[in-house]
Every structure is written in structure tokens, then in C-alpha cells.
Amino acid sequence: MTTLLWLIATPLLAYLLYLVSFYFIQHRMLFPVHELPPSDPTLIEDAGGEIYRITFSQGEFEVAYLPPTQKFKQPFPVLMIAHGNGNIIDDWAPRVDYMREHGYAVVLVEYPGYGRCDGKPSFDSISESMNLGYEWVESQEQLDKERIVLLGRSMGGGAVLTLVPKHKPMAIVLMSTYASIVDLAYKRLLPAFLVQHPFDNVKALSEYKGMVYLIHGKADKTVPIDALNKLLTVKDDATHKVYETAHADTPSDWDEFWKELEKFLKPVVFKD
């Protein structure tokens, strides 16, 4: 009997320890600010962009504004980007030239606690900064508030979807985006009640009525491909593409991705 009890108790105690460990380290796993690259505002400045600091409940966060690289009629359509959890906005400034060359202004929104921003990242603080960033875009005369496209990569997919349904962007682009944090927890045998940051992307996407473009890597182990299928269950008319890649290397060809995205958006964004 003692041996039987020990055989039952040992895995149970190990699982309880696993649960407790997850509860206390999930914030560090979800928002690895300790592993971020060093901030380098010159990447934004050298790309012809400007950095603006916006006040929020925990201090100030940043948005980077990169105008079109050629002469286009104002107000400009906007591509508003939320990056993955291992990046900062500086990293994206050199990547978006193609969209700028085709008439888009690009706005990069930074998360609290990332880069040069005050505060700490969480569902609430990221939602707050994203909404304030969107309102900043709407307040700029040179930007067209009726032609705003949201792009979120990985964690950024959850960030841009916090804008739905309060705002009505023209289109949403999701790259390697998870179905929900609870869904990721279940895959690791973790119960929903331990999840502190409830990014529910399936629910948010189900409330959005506009154009959607989804991409995912078939070999993605960080956010498995079934996340794409769950997003498609609530948005079955979404344009989507599956790459043979994993998480960090999706899309496999960024130049081709921007070309395909611009082609997808052009009939609606530049319909006049």
C-alpha cells in the first residue's frame, strides 16, 4: 500500500510543482524582456522615421512613424505593426521599405517595458498602448483613419486584435499567430485558470468583419499550425498561406511576402 501511494503521489506532486512553476514564470516566458536586443533608435532615424512618445497609465510608450518614401497624395493609408515578443520596434524599421514605396505610412507601436518604454507588459498594458497608438494614428491629418491596416506577428497578433471591436481597421494581417494563450497552455497540460494574460484571438477575430490575411509555418513548434485552423474556423473567408517553415523563419522570403500583401490590399486600399 505504501508503495502504491508513493507511485500515485510522486507524479501528482511533480505536476503540482509544474503548475506552481508555470504560474510564477509565465510572465517571463510570454514577455522575455530580459532577452530583447539592445535599443537602437538610429535604425528608425536612418530609415527616415520619427519617434513619438505617448503618455499612458504607466508612463510613456513609443510609436515610430515612417512616411511613404515617395510623393503620394495625402492622407496616406497606414500599416500599423505589432511585433513578436522577442523584438522591438527598432528591428522593424529597415524591413518595411516595400510598403512605404507603394504609398503606405508605417506606424510601429512599442509595448510597455520594451525598448525605451516605461511600465511592464501585460494584457491590459499592451491593450492600452495599442488603443492609444491607434488613436494617435487617427489624430494625424496626414494619415487616413479610414484606411488603417493592422499587422501582428506572433504575440503581435494578440496585440492588434485587442483593437477589435472598438476600432474598425480596413484589414488585419496575422503572422504565426496563436489561437489563444489558454490554447497554448492546454498544449502544455496547463489549466486555463492559471493563465494571467487572456489574449483570446479566436474570439476577437470572430468579432471582426473586414478583410483578413493569415500566414503560418507548417513546421512551427512554438505556435503549432493548428492555431491557423482555429482562426480559420471563425474567419473561413480569410486569405491564407502556409509555408514549410518554422516560427522564426516565417515567411521564408520577406520580399515575396510584402509583394503578396501589397497585391492583396491594393484593390481595397487604393480602390479610387
Say whether pTM exceeds 0.85: yes
DSSP for 135-202?
HHHHH-TTEEEEEEEEEEETHHHHHHHTTTTTS--SEEEEES--SBHHHHHHHTT--GGG-SS--BHH
Dist. CA 219–CA 203, nearest whole Å: 25
Residue range 87-103: average pLDDT?
97
- In this predicted structure, the answer to whether residue 185 has a pLDDT above a threshold of 80 is no
In the numeric block, which cell numbers belong to residue 259? Answer: 509583394
Domains of the chain: 31-269 (3.40.50.1820)
Is 103:270 a contact under the CB 8 Å cutoff?
yes
Residue range 192-217: average pLDDT?
88
Task: Write out pLDDT tens, residues 79-90.
Answer: 999 999 999 999
Q: Identify the pLDDT of residue 195.
A: 66
